[in-house]
A and B are shown apart, each in its own frame.
Chain A
Amino acid sequence: MMNHSYWQLFISVYKKDVTLAFRQRSEIVNPLLFFLIVITLFPLAIGPEPALLTRMAPGIIWVAALLSTMLGLDKLFRDDFNDGSLEQLIASPYPLPLSVLAKVLAHWTTTGLPMVLMAPVFALLMNLEAQALSATVLTLLIGTPLLSFIGAIGAGLTVGLQKGGILMSLLVLPLYIPVLIFATSAIDTSSMSLAYGGQLAILGAMLAIACVCAPIAISSALKVSVN
């Protein structure tokens, strides 16, 4: 009986967040547009030589992914904090980490997943070869939920502040560095036609740890922000 209701809580929080995002489509489209624009800026700034772009593509795609994830993070808890539903979640008898997990996954579904789906297009724009393409999609698939988990800690800490946005990027971006290193190195390795399973495995391990630990950190951060 209890397990059943935990599952219901998870599903209803997840559904609510995803539905809200789909009602306001700009929330889904804007980070994607931002991603596209950042990627457009690089060839303009460093020159359009295809060889140069191929060399820099993994880094550019991943930096753009980090930045557009940051863009959506501020909204993650802000609305719920303002209308008081966050307080209700904390006060409810259900474990807060569970509802936080649902919220983070909903955030990933609406910002990370579209990025993963659009990744082949971006990879083509940056002149990446076919073999690096699958690596790009795979690293984004494992890496973007990781970004959502880590970022949500920063979002939870700063949600009570008036101007939390810029502070949050200061807190979160240093923590993103390992993800960036392993993801770009996986794409680099794959473009040399070598096996990149090792980097993916490390990313996967980091995701597993984040899945378990991050919800706890996020919920204690939220409790500080709301109290």
Chain B
Amino acid sequence: MWKWLHPYAKAERAYQLCNTLLPYFAVITLVCLVIGWVWGLAYAPADYQQKDSYRIIFIHVPSAILSMGAYSSMAIAAIIALVWQIRNAELAVISIAPVGAAMTAIALLTGAAWGKPMWGAWWVWDARLTSELILLFLYFGVLSLYHAFEDKKSAGRAACILAVVGVINLPIIHFSVEWWNTLHQGSTITKFDTSAIDPSMLWPLLINIVAFAGFVGLVTLIRLKNEIIQHEKHRPWVRELVGRGE
């Protein structure tokens, strides 16, 4: 496996890999997003109790899942960067962080918009809401630490260390906050066979989750390409690339 993976430690190969993967992600995102949103927002049946306002689930749940998924992938990239000293992994950490922060913010905002009519409050200090908010703070921490350093080389490493420290703390924070206060409903789709959600709503939701995952991957790839180009701008292959106008 290492033989297969280690060429991508080279910036040029990683850039080419980004280019190869980009169209697949773009197609998956576009197709799933259109199907998922049209199906979920227009055709899926309305909830018997929450009427149409439940439809925010099709944005809220995927973004919440991806906010955590993005953090774990960021932490994995950070561990790879620290252990094997792979520069591209550092760039990947920095590429994922703002996307994950945006997902967290979307999850919080859509949650607030749903909470107002349903719970009667924009914000309650419930365990899940609070840990999602803390997740947002952790993302902000990584981002602001990276931007505080003049020297981008140490900035990347510092951000990686913080991401790893954060991922060790995340479960502790999550369970302590859970233990502290719980109002949020349990997950709807933890077990597929005994799912608490009707299939007519489950399928558009799953498609939306795939779409959001594709979207996160897509934006990360584009950002990673940019970062690689910026960090390698003195290399001949980048000059050649820019010269060709690609």
Chain A interface residues toward B at CB < 8 A: 153, 157-158, 160-161, 164, 167, 170-171, 173-175, 177-178, 181-182, 185, 206, 213, 217, 220-221, 224-225, 227
Contacts and interface: CB of A to CB of B under 8 A. Distances in A.
Contacts of B177: 177, 181
B35 interface: no
A153 B149 CA distance: 16
B140 A224 contact: no
Listed residue (B134, B161, B179) with the most chain A CB atoms within 10 angstroms of its CB: B161
B194 to A, nearest CB: 32
B172 A178 contact: yes
Interface in B121-161: 134, 137-138, 140-141, 144-145, 148-149, 154, 157-158, 161
A174 B162 contact: no
B158 A225 contact: yes
Given A217-B161, A225-B158, A170 B176 contact: no
Contacts of A160: 149, 154
Interface in B17-59: none
B140 A170 contact: yes
Contacts of A182: 176
Which A-B residue pairs are the 6 nearest by beta carbons?
A: A178-B176, A174-B137, A171-B141, A224-B157, A181-B176, A178-B172
B192 interface: no
Given A174-B173, A178-B173, A225 B154 contact: yes
B149 A170 contact: no
A187 B41 CA distance: 48
Contacts of B141: 170-171, 174
Given A175-B166, A181-B180, A213-B168, 16 more contacts: A158-B145, A160-B149, A160-B154, A173-B137, A174-B137, A174-B138, A175-B165, A175-B173, A177-B134, A178-B173, A178-B176, A181-B177, A206-B172, A217-B165, A220-B82, A224-B157
Contacts of B172: 178, 206
A167 B138 CA distance: 12
Given A170-B137, A171-B145, A217-B165, A224 B176 contact: no
B158 A224 contact: yes
Nearest to B179: A181
A220 B161 contact: yes
B168 A221 contact: no
A177 B176 contact: yes
B173 A157 contact: no
Contacts of A173: 137
A206 B171 CA distance: 12
A185 B176 CA distance: 11
29 contacts: A153-B161, A157-B145, A157-B158, A157-B161, A157-B162, A160-B154, A167-B145, A167-B148, A170-B137, A170-B140, A170-B141, A171-B145, A174-B141, A175-B165, A177-B173, A177-B176, A178-B173, A181-B177, A181-B179, A181-B180, A182-B176, A206-B172, A213-B168, A217-B161, A217-B165, A224-B154, A224-B161, A225-B154, A225-B158
B190 interface: no
A217 B79 CA distance: 12
A158 B141 CA distance: 12
Nearest to A161: B148
A153 B168 CA distance: 13
Nearest to A156: B161
